[in-house]
């Protein structure tokens, strides 16, 4: 059976995984439909650009930017072997999306490396998050702007987790997060841009949450994460990862990259906590992060 080039391209374009191809200079020459859906960037926006142009801004869990250094593409092309990685790409809307990446080098008939193909899949719990959104919409427990749980649902969830801890000794922690200098964003760029910033921060929290954790908007520029079945060390690690992901994200405003940071208070729920004491402690720790210079996490 001989397939035409058009048939091959249609098969590639219809894949459920994102796929793009680069030449020897790591210039993008093909970008399929799934890549558009996962990243938000249309093919015409990325084809012809180089990895080093830093449009997708791949980064590691520890916040290292890969596009200007040893990215999976570069490593595969240099070694001539397939390379797998777990990275975070920059979505066009500003938030960070965790993706599983597999890069395969391409060679000519003489065995010379002439480029590479990268396949990537969304490794966030998007299906579970969509079901959660549908349920929250039914119960009027969704924050309309950010599409996260609203304060009413967060309070209900906190009470349920405290009951669960009391009855079954299942630990949980709270991340209290506040955008740094958000008033400056609204004053300088306007409230519409401020809303877009809240949305991309919310998108980063949602895309990088476990299905059994809950993140919501507490009010204004404050967000709360309720993290189940976690140790203090794990809670801190998860909070630091979210802080770095927000720090390394950006929103394009009139061609310029608008960046924001968050300050976080992280605390484990204690057996004698009330809802008020738990939230007050998390809020106090968050303000300690602000006082220490912002863009920090304080654990207590």
The label of the residue with tokens 């960046």 reads 259
Catalytic residue among 36, 44, 221, 222: 221
Q: Which residues of 237-272 are buried (b: 16+ CB within 10 A; e: fewer)?
A: ebbbbbbbbbebbbbebeeeebebbbbbbbbbbeee
The answer to whether residue 155 is catalytic is: no
CA dist 92 and 61 (Å) reads: 19
CB–CB of 12/4 below 8 Å?
A: no
- E runs forming strands in the chain: 18-23, 28-31, 83-90, 96-107, 113-122, 172-179, 214-219, 222-228, 251-253, 256-258, 262-268, 297-299
Bridge-partner residues for 227, per DSSP? 173
Bridge-partner residues for 149, per DSSP? 142, 216
CB–CB of 143/39 below 8 Å?
A: no
CA dist 69 and 190 (Å) reads: 35
CB–CB of 262/178 below 8 Å?
A: yes
CA dist 35 and 204 (Å) reads: 18
Active site residue ranges: 221
């Amino acid at each position: 059976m001989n397939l035409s080039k058009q048939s091959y391209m249609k098969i590639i374009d219809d894949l459920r995984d994102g796929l793009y191809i680069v030449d020897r200079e790591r210039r993008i020459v093909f970008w399929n439909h799934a890549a558009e859906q996962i990243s938000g960037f249309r093919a015409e926006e990325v084809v012809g650009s180089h990895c080093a142009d830093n449009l997708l801004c791949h980064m590691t869990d520890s916040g290292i930017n890969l596009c200007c250094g040893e990215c999976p593409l570069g490593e595969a092309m240099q070694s001539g072997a397939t390379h797998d990685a777990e990275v975070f790409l920059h979505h066009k809307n500003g938030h960070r999306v965790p993706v599983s990446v597999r890069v395969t080098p391409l060679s000519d008939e003489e065995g010379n490396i002439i480029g590479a193909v990268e396949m990537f899949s969304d490794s966030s719990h998007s299906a579970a998050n969509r079901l959660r959104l549908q349920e929250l919409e039914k119960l009027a427990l969704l924050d309309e702007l950010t599409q996260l749980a609203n304060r009413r649902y967060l309070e209900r969830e906190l009470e349920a987790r405290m009951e669960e801890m009391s009855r079954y000794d299942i630990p949980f922690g709270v991340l209290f997060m506040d955008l740094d200098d958000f008033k400056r964003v609204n004053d300088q760029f306007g409230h519409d841009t401020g809303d877009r910033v809240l949305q991309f921060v919310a998108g980063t929290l949602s895309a990088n949450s476990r299905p059994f954790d809950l993140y919501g908007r507490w009010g204004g520029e404050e967000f709360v994460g309720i993290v189940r079945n976690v140790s203090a060390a794990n809670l801190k690690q998860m909070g630091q990862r979210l802080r770095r992901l927000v720090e390394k994200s950006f929103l394009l405003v009139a061609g310029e990259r608008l960046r924001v940071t968050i300050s976080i208070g992280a605390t484990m729920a204690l057996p004698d906590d009330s809802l008020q004491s738990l939230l007050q402690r998390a809020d106090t720790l968050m303000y300690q992060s602000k006082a220490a210079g912002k863009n920090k996490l304080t654990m207590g």
